[in-house]
Amino acid sequence: MSKSPEEEHPQKAFGWAARDKSGVLSPFNFSRRVNGDNDITIKVLYCGICHSDLHQIKNEWGNSVYPMVPGHEIVGVVTEVGKNVTKVKVGEKAGVGCLVGSCGSCHSCADDLENYCTKQILTYNARYHDETLTHGGYSDNLVVEEHFAIRFPENLPLDAAAPLLCAGITVFSPMKYYGLCKPGMSFGVVGLGGLGHVAVKFAKAFGMKVTVISTSLSKKKEAIEHLGADSFLVSRDQEEMQAAMGTMDGIIDTVSAFHPLLPLILLLKNHGKLVMVGAPDKPLELPVSPLLFGRKLVGGSGIGGIKETQEMIDFAAKHNITADIEVIPMDYVNTAMERLAKGDVKYRFVIDVANTLTP
């Protein structure tokens, strides 16, 4: 007979979990493994709410296992370290993003791309090496292998930096890989949500000329005056889009709803790159002719490896890049999920775990 979540491991833990595809979260007692020689234990201070948390708690991707404690934008303070740990010390700040494990021996792992390891272990809703279910950061503590922890520089505010562990690396990694990070480049950002607003900030820090591309004119003032974008295109305005054809070196597309790609491909210069980081639930149409007659590229990217995530956090600290957040108490989380489903947040909810998670 299998053990209950409270009895699986020796260390007690408490958080909020979804029990079924209704996605309703409620208080949940469970357990964490003992801190091993290569592990660190983190007292969770803040955890961001990612849109994928909403998909997972409602089983919208069809792979959810319950009970589920979500959360993969986790920051806190280190309370215990194993004898082999060198990355962090007790009392220092650390974070955990989307991954807590990988095989460690494949080509992807050897290249510091654990995010493409076929045996990657996600921070929640996955099976750990011992076959127990992983649980995320909507909880009071977390035990993680040192390798998968991220050091947090002292000058980064933990609450506003938490979303960088998912949203930040999701846009930073493709910008670096596809060479869309050179000063003076013309760069487009499609969609101004959790991913898009962070993409604008990184692009500006790289010294690029940034254009936000959105269906909604109402976001223009925010994009230019608050986030520092250089220009704004309404994707439904055919005259505006036609005038901007062939002007961009690269575009990052953060939209997860169904949308046409042709207008975006036409914005690219010859040899330009359109990089997809949103995940629409229906296949998009890909017109090939404009790719051929301009040697253009459509690519994709998914989060990033641990080494690059650390590089991203250090870059963010150097350039004072954080997410725009709304800090919420733990017992507001179900309302936050309802608002997130409607797009009613600028631009990321972050749970104040340390001050509001109470048994």
H-helix segments, the chain: 51-57, 107-110, 158-161, 167-177, 194-205, 220-221, 238-243, 262-267, 289-292, 306-318, 333-341, 353-356
The pLDDT > 70 percentage for the chain reads: 100
pTM: 0.95
Confidence of residue 72 (pLDDT cuts 50, 70, 90): very high
Assess contact for 344 and 1: CB atoms under 8 A. no
Q: What angle do CA 43, 48, 53 make, to 5 degrees?
A: 110
Give me the domains of the chain, ranges plus CATH numbers.
Answer: 11-165+324-352 (3.90.180.10), 167-300 (3.40.50.720)
Residue 25: name the closest of 344, 354, 345, 329 by CA.
Answer: 329
Mean pLDDT of the chain: 96
Assess contact for 210 and 229: CB atoms under 8 A. yes
Give residue 38's pLDDT: 97
pLDDT tens digits for 184-201? Answer: 999 999 999 999 999 999
Confidence of residue 256 (pLDDT cuts 50, 70, 90): confident
Q: CA torsion sign, 163 to 164 to 168 to 170?
A: negative
Give residue 7's pLDDT: 78
Q: What is the mean pLDDT of residues 92-99?
A: 98
Give residue 4's pLDDT: 82
pLDDT tens digits for 14-65? Answer: 999 999 999 999 999 999 999 999 999 999 999 999 999 999 999 998 999 9
Q: What is the mean pLDDT of residues 250-276?
A: 96
pLDDT tens digits for 282-328? Answer: 899 999 999 999 999 999 999 999 999 999 999 999 999 999 999 99
Give residue 359's pLDDT: 83
Does position 89 have pLDDT exceeding 80, yes or no? yes
